[in-house]
């Protein structure tokens, strides 16, 4: 059981709060992971009576929680800990009302979860300080993205740092809460079989792909300002790259782990000038079919400018300048309205020194993050019958089957529990965020300077054809 606390969710009527945070907190409460004195207070501008908000929360929790897992008795107890406080996060006076409503802490830790637009991060933190709510025991959780450039991220970090100590700040990336992502660390650092080959001598290249079939849905206004690079590459994909490439930390402890991740980000070779054209590809989806249904082009989506040049797809060839990875290309790819939903990491090993048998070589480690979580090692073996005909087979670890009797935690359950326990291992440190932006900014600037417009690709495809050339030049192809 965690510490007694008040969990205040700014943006309490938004999709993140209703679809992810409240169901996660419900599960934690059901498993007795929350202190009996916990209060969960949703804050938003809508003037809702508490009972109406509880009904809204119940409707969304029922929709998100598996039917057999929704316990009516647990919900009644959980909802008794749930409250709603209407306020405008941009108005300082409303924080005075909030302080009076909360009263004295009385030993409670206050956790402020900012499930809001990033432009509200600094005003909310500042108003919390003025209202006397940002004490030394408080914690603040920030959703990505942290800024839209190195300059803006630094400004946000400095403003937040003027109110909260770095140890009180939890910058969340929900990908790091996924079971398979954490299994990546176990796979690397708990298995002597892999460590000797996890380096440039044996690895040909690495692919990291996060592909979605969805479009921008109701996020058009935000997405048209951000694009795939700021929305996905700067955080999710670079975080996965860090976990694949980092050196073993001296111990499994927050600062040691984050130190190694920062080293990788700082070792990324800058992509500038002509390299931006050679090593990156931007794309934007046009009309097409997803699951047999016609979908519109990006520029016809709600709240998107009709002449928008925002990228919905980006692919990058990255290199890490250190001893372990010198000469190994890392191919990063993410896109919307792709042929299939899939997040995966592919470690492609080099061929054996001498090819004794015909039939090709496909030695690779596949780490599938979604939709199914599994890890498989593809190896060559002899096909039954006469002769030495080879065929690939998979040594497969299906995590759902291997732990069939254990409920699979959602990413936000694990991350919220870590916040409650004060464990920042799976959260981004300030220098980590800024190091990522320092690598991304020159790419964005290069596109602008060289007028590199997004390449069109039809919805339901694998992205623009130009992305294939990143690997084709090395005689490779994206993993299907």
The three-point CA angle 293-296-298 to 5° equals 135
Rounded to the nearest 10°, the torsion over CA 465, 471, 476, 480 is -50
Residues in the chain: 480
Do residues 289 and 319 touch, judged by C-beta distance below 8 A? no
Tokens of 178: 């996924």
Of these residues, 60, 236, 319, 450, which one is catalytic? Answer: 236
Give the containing element (helix H, strand E) for 239. Answer: helix 238-245
Render 101-156 in DSSP notation, one character per residue.
HH---TTPEEEEEE-S-GGGHHHHHHHHHHTT---TT-EEEEESP--SSHHHHHHH
35 counts as catalytic:
no
Using CA atoms, how far apart are residues 160 and 162, in angstroms rounded to an integer?
A: 5
Using CA atoms, how far apart are residues 23 and 16, in angstroms rounded to an integer?
A: 10
Spell out where 251-402 has E strands: 280-286, 288-290, 293-295, 313-319, 329-335, 342-349, 364-370, 374-382, 390-398
Do residues 302 and 220 touch, judged by C-beta distance below 8 A? yes
Annotated binding site for substrate: 174, 178, 212, 231, 336
End-to-end CA distance of the chain: 43
Residues 6 or more apart whose CB falls under 8 angstroms from that of 138 comprise 109, 110, 111, 112, 128, 164, 168
Q: C-alpha 197: how far from its chain's center? A: 27
Using CA atoms, how far apart are residues 364 and 350, in angstroms rounded to an integer?
A: 9
Annotated binding site for NADP(+): 45, 144
Which residues belong to the active site? Answer: 236
């Amino acid at each position: 059981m965690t510490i007694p606390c008040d969990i205040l969710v700014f943006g309490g009527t938004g999709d993140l709060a209703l679809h992810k945070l409240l169901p996660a907190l419900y599960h934690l409460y059901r498993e007795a992971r929350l202190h009996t004195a916990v209060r969960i207070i949703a804050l938003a501008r809508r003037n809702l009576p508490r009972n109406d908000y509880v009904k809204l929360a119940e409707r969304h929790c029922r929709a998100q929680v598996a039917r057999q897992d929704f316990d009516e008795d647990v919900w009644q107890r959980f909802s008794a800990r749930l409250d709603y406080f209407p306020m405008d996060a941009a108005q300082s006076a409303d924080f005075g009302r909030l302080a009076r409503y909360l009263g004295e802490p009385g030993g409670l830790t206050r956790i402020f979860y900012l499930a809001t637009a990033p432009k509200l991060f600094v005003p909310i933190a500042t108003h919390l300080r003025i209202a006397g709510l940002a004490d030394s025991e408080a914690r603040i959780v920030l959703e990505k993205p942290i800024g839209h450039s190195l300059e803006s991220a630094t400004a946000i970090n400095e403003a937040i740092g003027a109110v909260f100590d770095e140890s009180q700040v939890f910058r969340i990336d929900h990908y790091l809460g996924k079971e398979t992502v954490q299994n990546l660390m176990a796979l690397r650092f708990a298995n002597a079989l892999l460590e000797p080959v996890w380096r440039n001598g044996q690895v040909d290249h690495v692919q990291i792909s996060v592909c979605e079939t969805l479009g921008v849905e109701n996020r058009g206004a935000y997405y048209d300002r951000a694009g795939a690079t700021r929305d996905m590459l700067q955080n999710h994909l670079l975080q996965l790259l860090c976990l694949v490439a980092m050196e073993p930390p001296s111990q499994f402890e927050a600062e040691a782990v984050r130190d190694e991740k920062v080293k990788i980000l700082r070792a990324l070779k800058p992509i500038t000038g002509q390299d931006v054209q050679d090593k990156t590809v931007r794309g934007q989806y046009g009309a097409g079919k997803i699951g047999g249904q016609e979908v519109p082009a990006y520029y016809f989506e709600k709240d998107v400018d009709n002449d928008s040049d925002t990228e919905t797809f980006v692919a990058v060839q990255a290199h890490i300048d250190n001893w372990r990875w010198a000469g190994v290309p890392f191919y990063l790819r993410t896109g919307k309205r792709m042929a299939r939903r899939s997040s995966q990491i592919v470690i492609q090993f080099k061929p054996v020194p001498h090819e004794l048998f015909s039939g090709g070589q496909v030695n690779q480690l596949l780490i599938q993050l979604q939709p199914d979580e599994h890890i498989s090692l593809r190896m060559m073996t002899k096909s039954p019958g006469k002769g030495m005909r080879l065929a690939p087979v998979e040594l497969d670890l299906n995590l759902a089957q291997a732990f069939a009797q254990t409920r699979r935690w959602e990413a936000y359950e694990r991350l919220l529990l870590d916040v409650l326990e004060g464990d920042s291992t799976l959260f981004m440190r300030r220098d980590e965020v800024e190091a990522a932006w320092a690598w991304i900014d020159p790419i964005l600037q290069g596109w602008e300077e060289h007028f590199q417009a997004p390449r069109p690709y039809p919805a339901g495809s694998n992205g623009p054809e130009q992305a294939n050339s990143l690997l084709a030049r090395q005689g490779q192809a994206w993993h299907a």
